[in-house]
Amino acid sequence: MIDISHQQKQFEVIPTLVRPTLVEALKSRVRTAAAVAATESDQLPQVQTLGVAEMLEARLNSFDPASDDAEAECAFYVADLGEVYRQHLRWKALLPRIEPFFAMKCNPDPMVLRLLASLGTGFDCASKNEIQSILDLGVDPTRIIYANPCKQNAFVKYAHTNNVRMMTFDNAEELHKIKRFHPNAQLVLRILTDDSKSLCKLGLKFGAPLDTVEGLLATARELDLDVIGVSFHVGSGCFDAQAFGEAVIRARRVFDQAIEYGYEFKFLDVGGGFPSAHVKEGITFEKVALILGQTVERLFGPEVRVIAEPGRYYVGSAFTLATQVIARRTIQSVTATAAASEDKDGNRGEDEEEVKHMYYINDGMYGSFNCIMFDHQICEPKVLFRDGEFSYDAHYMQDMQQEQGGLASVWGPTCDSIDCITSKTRLPLLESGDWMYFENMGAYTITAASQFNGFKRSEVLYTTTEKEVTYHF
Ligand SMILES: Cc1ncc(COP(=O)(O)O)c(C=O)c1O
């Protein structure tokens, strides 16, 4: 077990509730949702010690049908901090040499940040606000890398004032900016790598092509800047473990080139792109760790410090979203049927089965499901509550889905027709007031959610399925 005795003092100890009081606690939580969810306040939300299913059930049971509280039946997340903890242990076991700097852009949830700060990870920050929220947790500035190659002047000044020295760059103009506002920064050259095997191709925007590296090193030398090493990002949602190995080989080349310019690099940042825990086949963390770990070991001596910027890896599987069915439309006319079963490009196979029901739920594309658009995700609804019964992880649902419901589409709550979560799925017949849930909703969801049409971001309830986590708050 990790020694956290030195860190515990920084954080308030949160009492965990025992089961019989949970429904009461959640009831009062519903009434004061806004206040309790106020993460900036000194009061931290409570962390329960229940399974995800129990949390979901308790929350549904806590609703008072007689209440006219409009907030009461909003969509909500259950975050299992135990899952974040397990991912951390897995990282430590499989990539012991590589220090994780959590890419908080992926999910800046305050409890996740606190837990990871307490576990001793570093943080990859992309802006002044992100840096500030980590410093506010009492994290030392040396545990932050400002990993945005194109930074606002004022943000560079802020990093300088607050002793955040590590930052990335990939162009000459940025070097001049840094010389002006943060001349003693420790610079990390972000190079371009092959991101063609990734869902999100970050190379379209960032990364110095290898034929520009020498020019950049020459400029840095002229400006007398301290370049300490190399970073890369194989792209988020990478589906080829080899991409990590090939990127490390490229980085080695740049280490060698740097010597000519008087730089002896001692720092390698292997970026993000690591798969989250739910991935069971294809690219698994085990495969990535094997290739990455071996390549780093082969090409870099122990004098080189190696860090990574995992985002999705830590949080993807830790968040489950529950949404209520707020309306159902049964398709009557052929025209409506046709429209409802069209895919996003308006295509519709002639002999395909038609969508029978359109379900509208209380979180959507402009909220948590922005991951469909921005992160290329496919979100699969499962039934959580139907016919007055809780049905989390119910295998019998499979048959029922075939028999009773038929094809359905699922839509978010806004007035925009782009707000579609899935245009074709199989669900049993559901009514308004029933619930669906979506697993693996921790990465690039809540962080980019808007309040378009006046719909609030879904709040987060916390639990941990690992007891050790409670010592970290
Ligand atoms: C610079 C940087 N580092 C790390 C990450 C995290 O990537 P992932 O969530 O795929 O691990 C991102 C994601 O966009 C990024 O831009």
Higher pLDDT, 195 or 246: 246
pLDDT-derived band at 38 (thresholds 50, 70, 90) equals very low
Cα 273 to ligand 1 centroid, rounded to whole Å: 6
Higher pLDDT, 272 or 11: 272
Cα 86 to ligand 1 centroid, rounded to whole Å: 20
Return d(Cα 364, Cα 366) in angstroms, integer: 5
Comma-separated ranges of CATH 3.20.20.10 domains in the chain = 108-310
pLDDT-derived band at 335 (thresholds 50, 70, 90) equals low
Q: Is the pLDDT of residue 25 over 90?
A: no
Active-site residues, by number, are 415
Cβ(98) – ligand 1 distance below 6 Å: no
Return d(Cα 234, Cα 240) in angstroms, integer: 9
The answer to whether 139 touches 158, Cβ cutoff 8 Å, is no
Cα 105 to ligand 1 centroid, rounded to whole Å: 8
Q: In CATH terms, is domain 1-79+319-468 a member of 2.40.50.140?
A: no
Spatial CA neighbour of 405 closest among 390, 388, 424, 427: 427
Residue at token pair 């300490």: 228
Give the residue-averaged pLDDT of 235-246.
90
Give the residue-averaged pLDDT of 65-79.
87
> Which token pair is 296?
């780093």
Return d(Cα 100, Cα 90) in angstroms, integer: 12
Q: What is the DSSP letter of 444?
A: S
Helices marked H in 46-188: 52-61, 81-94, 110-119, 128-135, 153-161, 172-181
> Apex CA 103: angle with CA 100 and CA 108, to 5°?
125
Say which amino acid occupies 5.
S
Cα 200 to ligand 1 centroid, rounded to whole Å: 9
User: pLDDT tens, 417-470?
Assistant: 999 999 999 999 999 999 999 999 999 999 999 999 999 999 999 999 999 998
pLDDT-derived band at 399 (thresholds 50, 70, 90) equals low
Work out which ligand 1 atom sits closest to the CA atom of 147. 1
User: pLDDT tens, 81-91?
Assistant: 999 999 999 99
Q: Is the pLDDT of residue 14 over 80?
A: no
Comma-separated ranges of CATH 2.40.37.10 domains in the chain = 1-79+319-468
Phi and psi torsions of 359, nearest 5°: -105, 140
Cβ(88) – ligand 1 distance below 6 Å: no
Spatial CA neighbour of 88 closest among 244, 377, 318: 318
Cβ(288) – ligand 1 distance below 6 Å: no
pLDDT of residue 203: 85
Spatial CA neighbour of 230 closest among 252, 215, 246: 252
- What share of the chain in percent tops pLDDT 90? 73
Cα 470 to ligand 1 centroid, rounded to whole Å: 28
pLDDT-derived band at 68 (thresholds 50, 70, 90) equals confident
Cβ(101) – ligand 1 distance below 6 Å: no
Q: Is 277 helix (H, G, I), strand (E, B) or coil?
A: coil
Give the residue-averaged pLDDT of 393-398.
65
pLDDT-derived band at 416 (thresholds 50, 70, 90) equals very high
Cα 274 to ligand 1 centroid, rounded to whole Å: 9
Cβ(190) – ligand 1 distance below 6 Å: no
Q: Is the pLDDT of residue 26 over 60?
A: no
User: pLDDT tens, 185-217?
Assistant: 999 999 999 888 888 888 888 999 999 999 999
Strands (E), 251-369: 267-269, 305-308, 319-330, 357-361
pLDDT of residue 109: 98
Burial string for 370-404 (b: 16+ CB within 10 Å, else e) reads bbbeebebebebbbbbbeeebbbeeeebeebbeee
Cβ(258) – ligand 1 distance below 6 Å: no
Residue at token pair 């899935």: 422
Residue at token pair 């402009």: 366
Cβ(238) – ligand 1 distance below 6 Å: no
Give the residue-averaged pLDDT of 402-413.
83
Q: Is 438 helix (H, G, I), strand (E, B) or coil?
A: strand
pLDDT of residue 395: 63
Q: What CATH number matches the domain at 108-310, 3.20.20.10, 3.40.50.300, 3.40.50.2000, 3.90.1070.10?
A: 3.20.20.10
pLDDT-derived band at 245 (thresholds 50, 70, 90) equals very high
Q: Is the pLDDT of residue 411 over 90?
A: yes
Return d(Cα 364, Cα 393) in angstroms, integer: 22
Cβ(272) – ligand 1 distance below 6 Å: yes
Give the end-to-end CA distance of the chain in Å, rounded to a whole number: 16
Q: Is 232 helix (H, G, I), strand (E, B) or coil?
A: coil
pLDDT of residue 97: 98
The answer to whether 243 touches 234, Cβ cutoff 8 Å, is yes
